[in-house]
Amino acid sequence: MSTRKSSLLLPRASNWMGVSALSAAMLATTALPSLADEALADLVEAVSPSVVTIIAEQDATTTPTQSQDFDLEGHPFGEFFKRFGGPEGFNTPERGPSQGLGSGFVLDEEGYIVTNHHVVDNASTVTVRLSDDREFEAEVVGTDPLTDLAVLKIDAGESLQAVDLGDSDVIRVGEDVVAIGNPFGLSSTVTTGIVSAKGRSISQGPYAEFIQTDAAINKGNSGGPLFNMEGEVVGVNSAIYSPSGGSVGLGFAVTSNIVDHITTDLRDDGEISRGWLGVSIQNVSPELAAALGIEASSGALVSDVVSGSPADGVLLQGDVILSFNDDAVDSSRDLPILVGTTKVGTNSVLTVLRDGKQEQLELTIGQYQTAEADVDSTFDTNVSGTALGVTVAPLTEAARAEMGVGDTVDGVVVTDLKPDSPAAKAGLQRGDVIVKLGSQDTATPDALKAALDSEKTDPALVLINRGGSQIFVAVEIA
């Protein structure tokens, strides 16, 4: 049996020699150390001393007792209630001090450390643990929630080994990247992957731009560096998409160019000086492009201009911004980043498409501002506007307060929509204020009807005010 089995396994001599030669070549190849592996090991060895652990401690919290205690930890909506408050009649029990772990890296030898805003947010004490296990209490120099970045400062009594920030604009999709951090408290954990995408927006805010990577990133990696193969930081690991809570290969890192701008600003005075135009913008969809009479569905469409802002008197509703200081604006998400990272007081040039023609406009960048709206009261009587499939009402003072609509806005309030109507299909909602249809103001229900009767363009360009912000929609009216 054994002889027969052996003979079945023996190939002909000519084939055997070929297999032997191939096997020998394979063995010789696998026996040699991989140059790529050596380069990666050298990179990790060189930069690891600059990666740190962030320990953020929060004091005990107490909530006044109501009718009964409510155990958030065991409730399916526990995380929601912790963030936004428990249901009426319930109370969250007193909690002791808590501790969170994150990652960070040494920005310069003086002891400045970069991490995420959410890692140190609301912390009473922040401690930085170096790669050699020494610990130092850190000062929070400043944070920026809109980009989820924070700068800390420690005094280690000596110069620290710092990393270099790379240029995130030049990194390409498909390039190898390395993440180093402390997932689940396991310090100095190294994972590798590639750049899966660039320019991602993940609802962090209009001023943050992300690199997507499939390098494993987990809880505790937040604030840690994402390196290119030159050992430069190209991103700060900030978020993951995960139905399970663990890594599924969808990690996101704030780009190093934004990190450079924000950290420089925070180190200057602990505050962010963010550039501001004073416009509401939106993407140019194919439908809006048709309504505007333009071919390309790119750029940022100006839907509103804030009175007294840098853009007031320069930009107009309906302008499509194509570039900002020679940087192309391919979509509305590009412009806030370009403007936000521009120094306040800078004279800037915008290329816009206005009435089918390109124009260059100049303005001076202002300081970023926020606005708040009051909310209260109800709507008024209804008047039908059947051509759009909506029911509208006059915009009363009570309605203005309810929806945060300013005194300078005139229009009619959408109080109801017919299912599958042109307005509903275009995305209009109850509570929207129709400000214009085509080129005509719609300050009253009668004005809206008159604008519909005279409108010649299909789809029609409709300007609405939603919660204080103005946007354009394209509505089929034929």
Positions marked catalytic:
118, 148, 222
Q: Is residue 44 within a helix (H) or strand (E), and if so which, with residue range?
A: helix 35-47
Torsion of Cα atoms, 196 then 197 then 198 then 201, to 10°: -120
Contact indicator for 386, 477 with CB cutoff of 8 Å: no
No. of helices (H) and no. of strands (E), the chain: 11, 31
Q: What radius of gyration, in Å, describes the C-alpha atoms of the chain?
A: 29
| Phi and psi torsions of 106, nearest 5° | -80, 120
Which segments of 97-247 are extended strands (E)? 98-106, 112-115, 125-129, 135-137, 139-144, 149-153, 164-165, 176-181, 189-200, 210-213, 225-227, 232-240
Burial tier of 454 (Cβ tally within 10 Å: 0-12, 13-18, 19+): exposed
CA separation for the pair 74, 292 (Å, rounded): 53
Residues 6+ apart with CB under 8 A from 198: 168, 171, 173, 211, 212
Give one DSSP letter per residue of 257-322, joined into a string.
HHHHHHHHHHHHHSS---EE--EEEEE--HHHHHHHT-S---SEEEEEE-TTSTTTTTS-TT-EEE
DSSP state letter for 356: T
Which segments of 325-400 are extended strands (E)? 327-328, 347-354, 357-364, 366-367, 383-385, 390-394
Contact indicator for 135, 129 with CB cutoff of 8 Å: yes
How far apart, in Å, do the first and last CA atoms of the chain sit? 86
DSSP H helices in 101-144: 117-120
Burial tier of 397 (Cβ tally within 10 Å: 0-12, 13-18, 19+): exposed
CA separation for the pair 234, 239 (Å, rounded): 15
